[in-house]
């Protein structure tokens, strides 16, 4: 896909990876603006094309008492405010067919969660909005199988689809990234590596997903070396108290150093 079709995506001439980053869930306006301001400042300095990420609701929860959101319209309005305030594109995930048209009024990219990427009606509903569609690879799917998800978007009259790898189930409680999948999926479309979700440790007996944030830089470095087009990562200024996925999020204070290292690696790879 042509990334220039994404409104307000800057620094596309920098020959760099692009970044989708932000909190797992929109917890409130102040936190969203605070995170966005920091990431915009870092990515501007490093000339990284940047998309702010935040879920307006969390439908896939392990327990019924888990945080699901602050209200759909309230969260979507915050996403729109972030986009307008910092002049950056925004992305959020959708879970039901009717979410597509609603969310498309507020954000630039609609994301299909990994568990739902085979749901044809949901993929088609997202595609028919005309927005860019980010297809998360199912934890249960091969890289080759993602060509069919991309085809659903294109057959719906939308050429703007990207694929995001977020790891593959490895046993019951762990994820693994098969880096052979990146060049495979790049044959079908723009390919992103979801670094933080690839380090989840789901299905814990507590009902709260675990993670390995200590491995974030390892996975991200490998993705950049393998030639991934973009990186996806969730970040927060207080991961321990984040309302969703705090166990595998990157602390916001560590983001600049990480991205500086990754940009240096990409520059080296570009010279080969």
**φ/ψ (deg, to 5) at 257:** -65, -45
Burial 20-52 (b: 16+ CB within 10 A, else e): bbbbbbbbeeebbeebbebbbebbeebebbbbb
Phi-psi region of 204 (alpha: psi -120 to 50; beta: other; left: phi over 0): beta
Dihedral sign (CA 38, 40, 42, 45): negative
Residues 2/94/50/20 CA torsion (nearest 10 deg)? -100
Specify the pLDDT at position 247.
85
Q: Answer for the pair 1, 190: CB distance below 8 angstroms, yes or no.
A: yes
Specify the pLDDT at position 259.
98
Q: Low-confidence residues of the chain, pLDDT below 50?
A: none
Write down the pTM of the prediction: 0.95
Specify the pLDDT at position 200.
86
**Each residue of 133-183: pLDDT tens digit?**
999 999 999 999 999 999 999 999 999 999 999 999 998 888 999 999 999
Residues forming a β-bridge with 14: none
Specify the pLDDT at position 66.
83
Helices 120-127 and 146-155: crossing angle in degrees, nearest 10, is: 50
Give residue for tokens 């990994």: 114
| Paired tokens of 4 | 């220039």
Q: Answer for the pair 9, 48: CB distance below 8 angstroms, yes or no.
A: no
Helices 72-86 and 97-104: crossing angle in degrees, nearest 10, is: 40
């Amino acid at each position: 896909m042509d990334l220039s079709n994404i409104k307000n995506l800057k620094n596309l001439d920098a020959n760099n990876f692009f970044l989708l980053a932000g909190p797992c869930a929109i917890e409130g306006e102040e936190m969203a603006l605070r995170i966005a301001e920091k990431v915009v400042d870092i990515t501007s300095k490093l000339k990284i094309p940047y998309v702010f990420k935040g879920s307006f609701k969390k439908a896939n929860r392990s327990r019924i008492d888990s945080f699901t959101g602050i209200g759909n319209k309230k969260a979507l309005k915050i996403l729109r405010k972030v986009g307008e305030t910092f002049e950056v594109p925004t992305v959020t995930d959708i879970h039901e067919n009717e979410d597509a048209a609603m969310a498309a009024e507020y954000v630039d990219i609609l994301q299909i969660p990994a568990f739902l990427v085979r749901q044809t009606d949901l993929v088609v509903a997202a595609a028919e909005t005309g927005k860019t569609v980010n297809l998360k690879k199912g934890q249960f799917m091969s890289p080759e199988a993602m060509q069919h998800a991309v085809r659903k978007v294109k057959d719906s009259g939308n050429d703007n689809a990207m694929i995001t790898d977020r790891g593959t189930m490895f046993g019951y409680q762990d994820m693994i990234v098969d880096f052979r999948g990146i060049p495979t999926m790049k044959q079908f479309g723009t390919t992103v590596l979801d670094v933080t979700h690839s380090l989840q440790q789901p299905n814990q007996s507590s009902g709260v997903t675990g993670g390995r944030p200590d491995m974030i830089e390892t996975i991200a470095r490998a993705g950049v070396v393998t030639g991934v087009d973009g990186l996806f990562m969730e970040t927060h200024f207080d991961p321990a108290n984040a309302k969703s996925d705090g166990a595998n999020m990157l602390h916001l204070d560590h983001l600049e150093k990480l991205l500086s290292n990754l940009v240096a690696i990409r520059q080296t790879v570009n010279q080969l």
